[in-house]
Amino acid sequence: MKSFPNFLLSLCLFYGCQSPRPDPVIVPAAIDAIIGQDFFAFKKDALIVYENGLKDAALLLGQYTNRPTAPKNNPTQPESAVVFAIDNALSGEHYKLDIDKTGVSIKSGSVNGALRAVQTMRLLLPEEFETPQSDKGSAALPFISIADAPAFSYRGMHLDVSRHFFPVAFVKKYIDLMALLKFNVFHWHLTDDQGWRIEIDGFSKLNSVGSFRDETLVGHYNDAPAKYDGKPYGGYYSKDDISEVVEFARARGIEVIPEIDIPGHSSAILAAYPEFSCKDHSDKVATTWGIFDAILCPKPETFEFLDAIFDEILPLFPSKYVHIGGDEAVKTRWLQCPNCQALIKQNALKNEYELQAYFVQKVADMLDSKGKSIIGWDEILEGGLSDKATIMSWRGVEGGVAAAKAGMDAIMTPTSYCYFDYYQSEKESEPLAIGGFLPLQKVYEFNPIPEGLNENESAHILGGQGNVWTEYLDTPQAVEYMAFPRMIALSEALWSGSKRKDFKNFVNRLERFKKRLDALAVNYANHLYEIKGVFNDSTSEPSYSLFTSLEGQCIRFTTDGSTPTAKSLEFKKPIPIRQNTTIKALVFQEEIPVSDLFEQKIQTHLGFGKTVIVSPNPHSSYSSGGPKALVNGIEGSNKRFGDSEWLGFWGDDVSISLDLGEETDVQTLSTRFFNSNGQWVYAPKTISVQADGQAPVVMTIQRENTLVTVRVPIHAKTRFLKIEVVGFGMIPDHLQGGGHPAWTFIDELIIE
């Protein structure tokens, strides 16, 4: 803690400010910050003054601090404590913030730069200022000098309000938290199969019919049989609601981009207005998740409808962008539609993918005539490039790379780094989620610019975005739990870019930042003390190590199945594994456990810890356990495929070579495959196992359950085993993920 000068101590005693605090916690980290030794007394009646153009920033700081504001050079104004000044040498969101004995100086060349400085100033104030009951009295601000600017111009967060609808108050809270973390774009997913969420006067059935569904799926999409709650569900935002949210965001320097998802994901539209479908189709507002055949028919009446809809919507959103979706558009109806087939022939299109490109181009031209540009998910590239589109790359980075190489702008939001509806912990007690596994550290390591782009191409990567899809998030608290703290990690990846701190530094700041989240009543996930384990095969014998994200913690463990106590062994070196072992562990602080109980069962077998070679390598999104995960004695989760034990392969057949070290009597090989078709995951077609000098034993795999267990008879004395897994192949067009390769997920190879 810094020394506290006597004169300032007297000031604080007089004005009632708090005692000085440790170095401030600034997230995302400032690019350049120098902290001094003294403090400035920010008194309760401190005046905030501003030069022309920066009034909004001053008003926002006044709102956060309950301090008065006034224009600079007002002859009657008292001495000011905070001065907002224009500095034309600073461009974009670049700002400088200095605090010394004379007060607070904030300089920027734009109001958005000043607004970012306001959020930094907010982080220098006591956490108690965030609570509604705080009187926001005098406070000691550390002397500090900051020069800061973002690495990327587009730093977005998304919120899906179609699957579950959230009140205006929560949307504003979400945006304010975004502002605190210096995000500058709110992507508002307003329409989808499960509901239309924006008021429309000219087509009122979009609200009376399209905004409400009969009931909602209970449990996971893959559960069989499916269960429903039997309760009507819905709602929509009035135009006044939309205006209130947009103005709230504008005051914080955040652009609101609406998404109207077309031509697919249109069940809610077509339930209200079936005449915009292809012939003789009837749709309902969807009561479950996934992908549906509902798709707008590209006929003149449809484009007239969309033109009228956009004429109502666009005045509500000052953004230059409109997101039109374009993803997961099932084209089965187009194949069967005489109008669609005639359009394909008339316009010399090759297929239905080029028909989608035709649809997208028509909408792009429509919006261009209204002064707007479109953003679309990367599927809109499949029928050809549009020179009027910005690509949002979600199925990996390939779509963004293709766009950048073609001279188009792109925003990176790959599932493997940016989908916050994925699990963030391998704990079985985590709330139900769609699947996948995206831990905090991986989010922090996100780099929106892929390898292989030159300088000119990289300039087309505008930035990145975190996505919060809400199929399994039905309350504001659930959204917060999945978004935080991953949103904080993403903010630093996008703001600081290559100049970000290391992950250790980040989690140490995050541990202290939790106090501010508590003051803001954010229901964040707290996994910093969560114990994680890793199997080691590089030592002389198989072993297991324990760690937490926060380094230097006291982890105590047992290997006999008992719960650790403050007297149990402290983990200091890898634990040898020579037999079936159950490891349990807890983090202790002053002999008190502060973590959840960690438990890992390790079952040894003939292949345990042996040499294994996998070809091709697992997909980078599902390879954290590496090939050794197949022979480490640890089975993957029964509920999800995204942990470190399941290895994932996208569209590849898989060859595995296993060296047992010496000739061994082998009777069987057992393994498991995940089968979750709604998430593009399919058990493979066949598995074959070949021992030395023998013909392969081939088994056809049945796909009746989510977990598919196979047991292959071998009955041979062998040193080597060769395993071949033939994947499912391409997913049929009419199913979720249609037209794309299926994923294969493989668990432990148990040799007996």
Q: For residue 170, what is the domain's CATH number?
A: 3.20.20.80
User: Which CATH number fits the domain that encloses residue 679?
Assistant: 2.60.120.1190
User: From CA 684, how far away is CA 742, in angstroms rounded?
Assistant: 9
The pair of three-digit structure tokens given for residue 516, joined into one six-digit string: 């501010």
**CB–CB of 742/681 below 8 Å?**
yes
What does residue 731 show for φ and ψ, rounded to 5 degrees?
Answer: -75, 135
Is residue 641 within 8 Å of residue 681, measured between CB atoms? yes
Cβ proximity of 42 and 141 under 8 Å: yes
Per-residue pLDDT at 707 exceeds 60: yes
Kindly report, residue by residue over 79-108, the tens digit of the pLDDT: 789 999 999 999 999 999 999 999 999 999
Are 233 and 225 in contact by the 8 Å Cβ rule? The answer is no
Q: Which is nearest to 111 in space by CA: 48, 67, 50, 27?
A: 50
DSSP string, 209-238: TTTEES--EES-TT-SS-EE----EE--B-
Burial (CB count <10 Å: 0-12, 13-18, 19+), residue 30: buried
What is the chain's mean pLDDT, rounded? 93
pLDDT in tens, 150-168: 999 999 999 999 999 999 9
Q: Is the pLDDT of residue 206 over 70?
A: yes
Last-in-domain residue among 106, 122, 148: 148
Per-residue model confidence as pLDDT tens digits over 30-64: 999 999 999 999 999 999 999 999 999 999 999 99
Contacting residues for 350 by C-beta, under 8 A, at least 6 apart: 344
Tell me the mean pLDDT in the region 681-707: 94
pLDDT digits (tens, 9 = 90+) for 438-448: 999 999 999 99
Residue 606 included in any domain: no
Residue 9 confidence (pLDDT) above 70: no
Nearest alpha-carbon partner for 268 in 244, 235, 219: 235
CATH number of the structural domain spanning residue 130:
3.30.379.10
Q: Are residues 413 and 556 in the same domain?
A: no
Is residue 10 predicted with pLDDT exceeding 50? no
User: For position 21, what pLDDT does the model report?
Assistant: 59
For Cα atoms 331, 223, 731, give the angle at the middle one, nearest 5 degrees.
30
Asked whether the predicted pLDDT for residue 74 surpasses 90, the reply is no
Q: Is residue 656 domain-resident?
A: yes
Taking alpha carbons only, the member of 549, 548, 535, 614 closest to residue 586 is 548
Q: Are residues 88 and 134 in the same domain?
A: yes
Kindly state whether residue 581 falls inside one of the protein's structural domains: yes
Identify whether residues 629 and 675 lie together within a single domain.
yes
Give the separation between CA 701 and CA 726, rounded to whole angstroms: 10
Q: For the packed helices 486-496 and 503-519, what is the interaxial angle rounded to 10 degrees?
A: 120
Each residue's pLDDT tens digit, 537-580: 776 789 999 999 999 999 999 999 999 999 999 999 999 999 99
Can you give the pLDDT at residue 13?
33
Question: Where a domain ends, among 519, 541, 573?
Answer: 519
What region, left, alpha or beta, does residue 136 occupy, with left being phi > 0 and alpha being psi -120 to 50 degrees?
left
Residue 346 falls within a domain, yes or no? Answer: no
| pLDDT on residue 76 | 63
User: Among candidates 66, 154, 148, 59, which has minimal Cα distance to 107?
Assistant: 148
| AA letter at 136 | K
Q: What is the pLDDT of residue 19?
A: 46
Cis peptide preceding 78, ω within 30 of 0: no
Alpha helix positions (H), 262-351? 267-272, 300-313, 332-336, 338-346
272 with 384, same domain: the answer is yes
- Domain co-membership, 593 together with 649: no
Q: Based on the domain organization, do 165 and 144 belong to the same domain?
A: no
pLDDT-based confidence at 3, cuts 50/70/90? Answer: very low
The Cβ of residue 291 has, within 10 Å, a number of other Cβ atoms equal to: 19
Instruction: Verify that 112 and 195 share a domain, yes or no.
Output: no
CA angle 729, 733, 735 (to 5 degrees): 90
Identify whether 738 is part of a domain: yes
CB 310 within 8 A of CB 367: yes
Q: Per-residue confidence at 435, pLDDT binned at 50, 70, 90?
A: confident
| pLDDT tens-digit series, residues 285-340 | 999 999 999 999 999 999 999 999 999 999 999 999 999 999 999 999 999 999 99
217 with 228: CB under 8 angstroms?
yes
Which residues, including other chains, have CB under 8 Å from residue 90's CB and lie 6 or more apart? 96, 107, 108, 109, 110, 113
Assess whether pLDDT exceeds 80 at residue 15: no
Task: Give the sign of the dihedral formed by CA 501, CA 504, CA 506, CA 512.
Answer: negative
pLDDT at 651 over 70: yes
Q: How far apart are CA 42 and CA 125, in angstroms?
A: 9
User: Domain total for the chain?
Assistant: 4
For residue 618, what are its two tokens?
């697992």
Q: How far apart are CA 500 and CA 493, in angstroms?
A: 7
Do 370 and 495 share a domain, yes or no?
yes
Instruction: Looking at the structure, tell me whether residues 655 and 716 fall in a common domain.
Output: yes
CA-CA-CA-CA torsion for 215, 206, 465, 620, nearest 10 degrees?
50
Indicate whether 2 pLDDT > 60: no
The Cα 730–Cα 732 span in angstroms is 6
Percent of the chain exceeding pLDDT 90 equals: 87
Residue 562 burial by CB count (10 A; 0-12/13-18/19+): exposed, middle or buried?
Answer: exposed
Which pTM was predicted? 0.91
Computed from CA positions of residues 417, 424, 176, 518, in that sequence, does the dihedral angle turn out positive or negative?
negative
- Shared domain check, 736 and 641: yes
In a domain, 121, yes or no: yes
Q: Give the pLDDT confidence score for residue 734 in this predicted structure.
A: 75
Residue 397 pLDDT greater than 90, yes or no: yes
**Inside any domain, residue 525:** no
**Residue 570 belongs to domain spanning:** 532-601
Do 579 and 707 fall into the same domain?
no
Last residue of a domain, one of 148, 165, 185: 148
Is residue 309 located within the same domain as residue 446? yes
Q: Is the pLDDT of residue 513 over 50?
A: yes
Lowest-pLDDT range, 103-112, 203-212, 489-498, 621-630?
Answer: 621-630
- Domain membership of residue 375 (yes or no) is yes
603: buried, middle or exposed (CB in 10 Å: 19+, 13-18, 0-12)? middle
For 369, counting Cβ atoms within 10 Å of its Cβ (0-12 exposed, 13-18 middle, 19+ buried), the class is exposed
As a whole-number percent, the residues of the chain with pLDDT over 70 amount to 96
Residues noted as catalytic: 192, 265, 328
Residue 11 has pLDDT above 50, yes or no: no
